[in-house]
Amino acid sequence: MKSYRKELSFHLPTRRGLVNITNDVQQAIDESGIKEGLVLINAMNITASVFINDDEGGLHNDYEKWLEGLAPEKPYSQYQHNGYEDNADAHLKRTIMGRETTCAITNGELDFGTWEQIFYFEFDGKRTKRVLIKIIGE
Protein backbone atom coordinates (compact mmCIF):
# COMPACT_ATOMS: atom_id res chain seq x y z
CA MET A 1 0.00 0.00 0.00
CA LYS A 2 1.19 3.51 -0.85
CA SER A 3 0.42 6.80 0.78
CA TYR A 4 0.67 10.39 -0.43
CA ARG A 5 0.34 13.65 1.49
CA LYS A 6 -0.29 17.14 0.17
CA GLU A 7 -1.35 20.43 1.75
CA LEU A 8 -3.42 23.18 0.21
CA SER A 9 -3.09 26.73 1.53
CA PHE A 10 -5.86 29.33 1.64
CA HIS A 11 -5.92 33.01 2.54
CA LEU A 12 -9.44 34.27 1.91
CA PRO A 13 -9.82 38.06 1.98
CA THR A 14 -13.22 37.79 3.70
CA ARG A 15 -14.33 36.43 7.06
CA ARG A 16 -16.37 33.66 5.42
CA GLY A 17 -16.03 32.02 2.05
CA LEU A 18 -16.57 28.81 0.13
CA VAL A 19 -13.99 27.28 -2.25
CA ASN A 20 -14.57 24.29 -4.53
CA ILE A 21 -11.44 22.14 -4.10
CA THR A 22 -12.56 19.11 -6.11
CA ASN A 23 -10.00 19.70 -8.89
CA ASP A 24 -7.21 20.22 -6.33
CA VAL A 25 -8.05 16.86 -4.71
CA GLN A 26 -8.18 15.11 -8.09
CA GLN A 27 -4.83 16.66 -8.99
CA ALA A 28 -3.34 15.23 -5.77
CA ILE A 29 -4.75 11.81 -6.67
CA ASP A 30 -3.14 12.09 -10.12
CA GLU A 31 0.18 13.08 -8.53
CA SER A 32 0.00 10.14 -6.11
CA GLY A 33 -0.36 7.52 -8.82
CA ILE A 34 -2.85 5.68 -6.60
CA LYS A 35 -5.62 4.05 -8.62
CA GLU A 36 -7.65 2.29 -5.89
CA GLY A 37 -7.96 3.56 -2.34
CA LEU A 38 -9.23 6.38 -0.17
CA VAL A 39 -8.57 10.08 0.11
CA LEU A 40 -9.02 12.02 3.35
CA ILE A 41 -9.46 15.78 3.06
CA ASN A 42 -9.51 17.77 6.27
CA ALA A 43 -9.35 21.37 7.37
CA MET A 44 -6.32 21.88 9.57
CA ASN A 45 -7.84 24.77 11.49
CA ILE A 46 -10.66 24.78 14.02
CA THR A 47 -12.55 27.58 12.27
CA ALA A 48 -12.84 25.99 8.81
CA SER A 49 -14.56 22.95 7.34
CA VAL A 50 -14.36 20.48 4.47
CA PHE A 51 -17.52 18.81 3.18
CA ILE A 52 -19.20 17.35 0.08
CA ASN A 53 -22.30 18.73 -1.59
CA ASP A 54 -23.62 20.37 -4.76
CA ASP A 55 -21.84 23.36 -6.36
CA GLU A 56 -24.94 25.53 -6.70
CA GLY A 57 -25.02 29.22 -5.78
CA GLY A 58 -28.46 29.16 -4.16
CA LEU A 59 -27.37 26.33 -1.89
CA HIS A 60 -24.20 28.23 -0.97
CA ASN A 61 -26.32 31.23 0.03
CA ASP A 62 -28.60 28.90 2.01
CA TYR A 63 -25.57 27.60 3.95
CA GLU A 64 -24.62 31.15 4.93
CA LYS A 65 -28.15 32.04 6.03
CA TRP A 66 -28.69 28.74 7.87
CA LEU A 67 -25.35 28.81 9.68
CA GLU A 68 -25.75 32.46 10.62
CA GLY A 69 -29.15 31.61 12.11
CA LEU A 70 -27.67 28.77 14.17
CA ALA A 71 -24.50 30.58 15.27
CA PRO A 72 -24.71 34.31 14.50
CA GLU A 73 -21.45 36.22 14.33
CA LYS A 74 -22.82 39.19 16.29
CA PRO A 75 -23.30 40.36 18.93
CA TYR A 76 -19.86 39.17 19.95
CA SER A 77 -20.87 39.52 23.61
CA GLN A 78 -23.20 36.50 23.37
CA TYR A 79 -20.23 34.10 23.47
CA GLN A 80 -17.89 33.41 26.38
CA HIS A 81 -15.07 32.45 23.99
CA ASN A 82 -15.01 35.95 22.54
CA GLY A 83 -12.95 37.31 25.42
CA TYR A 84 -9.86 36.30 23.42
CA GLU A 85 -10.94 36.55 19.77
CA ASP A 86 -14.23 37.47 18.14
CA ASN A 87 -14.61 34.11 16.40
CA ALA A 88 -16.73 31.88 18.65
CA ASP A 89 -19.35 31.66 15.89
CA ALA A 90 -16.67 30.27 13.54
CA HIS A 91 -15.88 27.43 15.96
CA LEU A 92 -19.58 26.55 16.22
CA LYS A 93 -20.10 26.68 12.43
CA ARG A 94 -17.15 24.34 11.95
CA THR A 95 -18.66 21.90 14.44
CA ILE A 96 -21.91 21.87 12.45
CA MET A 97 -20.27 21.51 9.00
CA GLY A 98 -17.57 19.08 10.10
CA ARG A 99 -13.81 18.79 10.00
CA GLU A 100 -13.23 16.41 7.10
CA THR A 101 -14.50 14.13 4.40
CA THR A 102 -13.30 10.83 2.96
CA CYS A 103 -13.83 9.71 -0.63
CA ALA A 104 -13.27 6.49 -2.51
CA ILE A 105 -10.81 6.41 -5.39
CA THR A 106 -11.65 4.07 -8.26
CA ASN A 107 -9.54 3.80 -11.41
CA GLY A 108 -7.60 6.90 -10.29
CA GLU A 109 -10.73 9.08 -10.05
CA LEU A 110 -12.90 10.40 -7.24
CA ASP A 111 -15.78 7.92 -7.03
CA PHE A 112 -18.62 10.43 -6.71
CA GLY A 113 -22.37 10.43 -7.05
CA THR A 114 -24.23 12.90 -9.24
CA TRP A 115 -23.36 16.55 -8.52
CA GLU A 116 -20.97 15.78 -5.63
CA GLN A 117 -18.11 18.24 -5.18
CA ILE A 118 -15.63 18.89 -2.35
CA PHE A 119 -15.61 22.27 -0.61
CA TYR A 120 -13.44 24.20 1.80
CA PHE A 121 -15.61 26.50 3.94
CA GLU A 122 -13.85 29.32 5.79
CA PHE A 123 -15.59 30.81 8.84
CA ASP A 124 -12.85 33.13 10.17
CA GLY A 125 -10.72 34.20 7.23
CA LYS A 126 -8.23 36.93 6.47
CA ARG A 127 -5.32 34.70 7.49
CA THR A 128 -3.55 31.70 6.01
CA LYS A 129 -5.01 28.26 6.72
CA ARG A 130 -4.34 24.76 5.42
CA VAL A 131 -6.18 21.70 4.16
CA LEU A 132 -4.59 18.25 4.35
CA ILE A 133 -5.05 15.72 1.56
CA LYS A 134 -3.96 12.21 2.58
CA ILE A 135 -4.28 9.41 0.05
CA ILE A 136 -3.80 5.71 0.75
CA GLY A 137 -4.16 2.78 -1.61
CA GLU A 138 -2.50 1.06 -4.52
Q: What is the CATH number of the domain that holds 34?
A: 2.60.120.460
Is 90 within 8 Å of 53 (Cβ atoms)? Answer: no
Count of the separate structural domains present in the chain: 1
Distance CA 126, CA 72 (A): 19
Domain extent, residue 12, equals 2-137
| Tens of pLDDT, residue by residue, the chain (138 residues) | 999 999 999 999 999 999 999 999 999 999 999 999 999 999 999 999 999 999 999 999 999 999 999 999 999 999 999 887 899 999 999 999 999 999 999 999 999 999 999 999 999 999 999 999 999 999
Q: How many C-alpha atoms does 104 have within 13 Å on its Cβ side? A: 5
> In 1-138, which ranges are continuous DSSP H helix?
22-32, 57-70, 88-97
Residue type, 30: D
